[in-house]
Structure 1
Amino acid sequence: MEFTSYFGPVSSYHHYVATPSQEIICVASVFAGISLCLLVYRSTAVLSFLLFNKAYGKLSTAQKIEWNNRGISTFHALFVSFASFYFLIISDIFKDGSHEDLIVNRSSTLTNTVLGISIGYFLTDLVMILWYFPALGGLEYVVHHGLSMLSILISMVTGQVQIYILMVLFSESTTPSINLRWYLDVAGLKSSKLYIVNGIALFLGWLVARIFLFMFFFYHVWTHFDEVKEVNAVCYYFMFVVPSVLTMMNLFWFWKIAKGMVKTVTKSKHRKRA
């Protein structure tokens, strides 16, 4: 796999060649991601039937499909959140001054494996969204998954900007709260204390992982722009376009989450007074 390009907005030249072993790892990790998604989907159905049969058994066929599908997204969210946290905070791979390579050119077999598994998830989920469209999500989910998958793929092929891909992937840490909110709703527990607590946690988590983190993302790009301008032209443009689009989507969803949280908390206070 050879990727060669001349830069549009920058003055340098970048040439990246993946070895056969790296190609095998990338392809294998994508298929591993797809296989894990299918396994989690089936496991979610079995475990839900055994542990939550009272709620799960009452669901319609369409709701059961979405219930199982959210099991996949929860698994992926936990996986990439912990992996991103490890690479960005614990590991020294992306720490300033820890390696001779530019921070935007750093990658490893392990980071590529994680990104490949993530592509496998986005591909599987996108296929399900399109197959059952619009039951599992509207056009905004198609855009989100398409941009995410393409950005990760470009980063794997070029071996660049993986630090920024992992920053964005960490925002998936809000997904478990989103899914729990849906689970509680269809289970008839919308008035429970857990639903209210989860709503507040979702608001705070979204604020940190999808608002503040994206602000830090652009700040980091700005402070490391002398390195950023050296990346491949495709990465360069995608690194600005995709996060900008996702930021607008995050702000829109944050507004809806905030409205929903205020509405839920207000109703809870009225019930207590009554």
Structure 2
Amino acid sequence: MHKEAGEDGSDNAHFSGLSREQICRCRTHRAELIDSSQSLCFHCFNLTLFYGRSKPLLTLLSCAIKQFAFLCLCRTVSTLHALLVGLFCLYILFFDEAVNQDPVWGDPTLVKINVSITTGYLISDLLLIFYYWRAIGDKFFVIHHLAALYAYYYVLGQGMLPYFANFRLLAEFSTPCVNQRWFFEVLGYPKVSKPNMANGVLMAFVFFLVRIAVMPVYYSRMCSVYGTEAFYKVSFGGRSAWIFSSICLDIMNVMWMHKIARGCYKVLLSSRRSKPESQENGKTN
């Protein structure tokens, strides 16, 4: 009782000169201020505790977002590289007379530029594959890149076989469709969606055109120079790299073509089956 009387006395001393209604309002505001301060301290404590416990999760999420953005950038760069090198390759095939007339020892200036661009890209892509092996690692891609780099070493170092080195770059035209398929998959497009199906059919067609259908042209030109004087001027290492890399790359191209064709056929077949089912559901409904 004495304590309460003391507190009331001190309050009355603070609020001297004020009416009873004003004193009640001041006490109410003071109580609200104390409650707000306590609530703010409580939330700050919880936020600090949550951040301390979830910091590893936030760090992991940030790394995943950065990795995803980096992979998107890599796919975009891959598409731009493929279009640049592919168009340059067509220009050389149609307009570089020196290379077309002498496929073994023709002037390799333009071809070296094109091959240099591809070599730089293959090296950087190979390093990225090793660094992000869990996300994009593929042993066949590693073999493909190493086989191509093995052959391009002789093209850039000794200027030999410019026609054949440039001809292999036609295969880059299939890359944009492959990258677009990855983007559709990341964006959540169903496999039977029209954009995904159109890209899949186009990918199968272009892949067959620039990697499979051109094989007879490539190997017939190879046979035409086999045993000639220009052929024997090529070092044994250069000939080995040329023949070995060509066979190795084309074996993988056939494997990939078979895989792409099967996938395309399955998607088209499933889309045809889904149409009658949707029509039947529409009738029953």
Q: Check whether TM > 0.5.
A: yes
- Once the two structures are superposed, the pairs formed by residues 69-218 of structure 1 within 5 Å of their partners are 69-96=74-101, 102-190=102-190, 191-218=192-219
Show the counterpart of 2:221. Answer: 220
Query: Any idea what SS the aligned residue of 2:107 has?
Result: coil
Instruction: Give the alignment partner of residue 232 of structure 2, picking from 229, 233, 237.
Output: 229
Q: 1 or 2 for the larger relative contact order (CA 8 Å, sep ≥6)?
A: 1
Larger Rg computed on CA atoms: 2
Superposed CA deviations along residues 141-184 of structure 1, whole A, max 9, x for unmatched, are: 11111121221122110110011111111111100011111111
Higher helix proportion, which one?
A: 2
Shift of 1:254: 0.7
Q: Is the 8 A contact 1:155 1:162 kept in 2?
A: yes
Q: Structure 1 unaligned segments of length 5 or more: list them.
A: 1-58, 97-101
- Once the two structures are superposed, the pairs formed by residues 26-105 of structure 1 within 5 Å of their partners are 60-96=65-101, 102-105=102-105
Query: What is the distance in 2 between the residues matched to 1:193 and 1:122?
Result: 32
Query: What is the distance in 2 between the residues matched to 1:257 and 1:63?
Result: 25
Query: What is the distance in 1 between the residues matched to 2:258 and 2:169?
Result: 21
Query: Any idea what SS the aligned residue of 2:135 has?
Result: coil
Show the counterpart of 2:265. Answer: 262
Query: Any idea what SS the aligned residue of 1:79 has?
Result: helix
Root-mean-square deviation (CA, aligned residues, Å) is 1.7
CA 1:271 to 1:61, structure 2 compared with 1: closer, same or farther past 3 Å? farther
Q: Is the 8 A contact 2:189 2:196 kept in 1?
A: yes
Q: Is the 8 A contact 1:167 1:213 kept in 2?
A: no
Shift of 1:233: 1.6
Superposed CA deviations along residues 76-120 of structure 1, whole A, max 9, x for unmatched, are: 111111111110123323233xxxxx4301134332222112111
TM-score norm. by structure 1 comes to: 0.72
Query: Any idea what SS the aligned residue of 1:94 has?
Result: helix
Superposed CA deviations along residues 236-264 of structure 1, whole A, max 9, x for unmatched, are: 11111001011111111111101110011
Show the counterpart of 2:13. Answer: none
Shift of 1:197: 1.2
> Percent identity, aligned pairs only?
25
Q: Structure 2 unaligned segments of length 5 or more: list them.
A: 1-63, 279-285
